[in-house]
Amino acid sequence: MTTVPRSALISGASAGIGATFARHLAARGYQLLLVARRADRLHDLAAQLTEQHKVRCEVFAADLTAPASPAAILRYADEQGLNIDVLINNAGLSGKTAFADTPWDTLAGEIQLMVTAQTELAHRVIPGMKERRWGRIVNLSSVAAFAPPATSLLYTGIKSYVLNTSQALDMELKPHGIHVTALCPGFTHTEFHDVMGTRDKANHLPGILWQQPEAVVAEGWKAVQNGKPVCVPGLVNKISAAAMKPLPNRLAYLAGKTLNPFKNS
């Protein structure tokens, strides 16, 4: 009997950590559904991965700031006969102006992209994972999730939401063979700062603070495979997160699991 390869859905797959996850998983034989706004980049990446690793790579161009996108993505996956076994919720951005000076449509798009769409994609793939008794979800948070709130920006609060929600989902879903990990990188060499217009400031940061996306992805994938609900990649980031958060990650997770109001239901 032929075994069907597992499939991974990766959002924000056209560059940076998302594209690196695509390369990492393709090298391990996963079929891919690559999602981002830039269709040309997705098609180029899909062609490269298909040639290098002989894996199936589907492409779906979508803007996840549009509320209809998550349903459309999963509808396409179903039409293509792809059961999503791995979800990499990577798509993200950061605001560049003060909250009060930013148009509401821009703020709503930020929330839709990194809170609502990410949560909806997980909600839509989890039933199939539960049925197959296997699943892996990586939600991109940030070391900023451990920091005090930053002036005017939603980013810290959003990434804290991702961190906390990922741990809650991991508690709920691990008995069903599904691991959920909040991946919390710090400064990473990607296009993020170019897109956000913060490259000049980023270039003045010490080199010791930076990681390559390949290192972030390797540590994040190892963490979700091993059932770790939180992954802070890199020694410097681990020290920073521990210094900013009074209760160690593992103890916080165990405390939350103990206090779970649904554990006896």
Report the distance separating Cα 181 and Cα 239, nearest Å.
19
CB hemisphere CA count around 91 (13 angstroms): 32
Whether 228 is catalytic: no
Q: Are the C-beta atoms of 230 and 182 separated by less than 8 Å? A: yes
Whether 76 is catalytic: no
Q: Which of 54, 96, 159, 257 is catalytic?
A: 159
Q: Which of 76, 96, 155, 263 is catalytic?
A: 155
Distances (CA, A) of 5 to 56, 207, 223, 231: 9, 39, 21, 26
- Do strands 7-11 and 230-231 pair parallel, antiparallel, or not at all (unpaired)? unpaired
Report the distance separating Cα 17 and Cα 217, nearest Å.
7
Distances (CA, A) of 191 to 14, 41, 49, 97, 226: 10, 13, 20, 19, 29
Catalytic amino acids?
155, 159
